Structure 1
């Protein structure tokens, strides 16, 4: 278990995780639609458009989306597992999801909703995570366990997915 529930990773650890994101997912951060999707989507992945949130003046749907993704990410790890929250070009974190977000606990270090830059939540072993892309206006979840836990609820908030395992999904 971590000494504190949220901390910036050591520089070497941050570099290792960042390098692996670039290598494993062929991460291409860009505002240009020519490079989208910004990652090579894993086989067990689902991508949703965030356009459904455009007409959400009370932020109820956004709040529900964030809660569903955070709960899914928390549920996939064991009681002592940690996640990385990587915010491209900004401070990133390593944190214990079981020790944040609850009553009397610290808030999550970042939101899975991409507020301005690419945001990645990822397990230490890279077996599951989320990737939010602000310019593509998309959110993808990957890893079979996370998809089993969260995808049905994300569908309810964001409408049907636009891609599964990196392949376009036709209209329902």
Structure 2
């Protein structure tokens, strides 16, 4: 699956090339450290959200966390809308959206 993900999303494992993937439509990207207010257990809450849509076998929907960008990309026909309110509450508005 990883080879297919790299090919389909043009993954560029780099500390300087950004964004690291070609973000599909629809998708939304949040910066993981964008929030500047105290929110209890941010990592745990983000993890619970991400686990709802890690990656489907057909790559139709999923999530991609990039450690160097410190971003979380969420894509698919239903997943971004399903998690947008919660992620925006935790992290602020998405930094990029493709519709």
TM-score, normalising length: structure 2: 0.87
Structure showing greater Rg = 1
Given that 2:35 and 2:92 are in contact with CA atoms closer than 8 Å, whether structure 1 keeps it comes out as no
Task: Please show how residues 92-111 of structure 1 align to structure 2 within 5 Å.
Answer: none
Number of aligned residue pairs:
99
Q: Which has the higher contact order (CA 8 A, sep 6+)?
A: 2
Given that 2:60 and 2:76 are in contact with CA atoms closer than 8 Å, whether structure 1 keeps it comes out as yes
Given that 2:11 and 2:22 are in contact with CA atoms closer than 8 Å, whether structure 1 keeps it comes out as yes
Determine the structure 2 residue equivalent to 1:40. Answer: 22
For residues 63 and 97 of structure 2, what CA distance do their matches in structure 1 show? 14
Call closer, same or farther: CA 1:31–1:147 in 2, change over 3 Å.
same
Q: Deviations over 1:67-115 (max 9, x none)?
A: 1222x32xxxxxxxxxxxxxxxxxxxxxxxxxxxxxxxxxxxxxxxxxx
Superposition RMSD on alpha carbons, in Å? 2.1
Determine the structure 2 residue equivalent to 1:50. Answer: 32
> How far has the Cα of 1:148 moved from its partner?
2.1
Gaps of 5+ in 2: none
TM-score, normalising length: structure 1: 0.52
SS at the partner of 1:36? coil
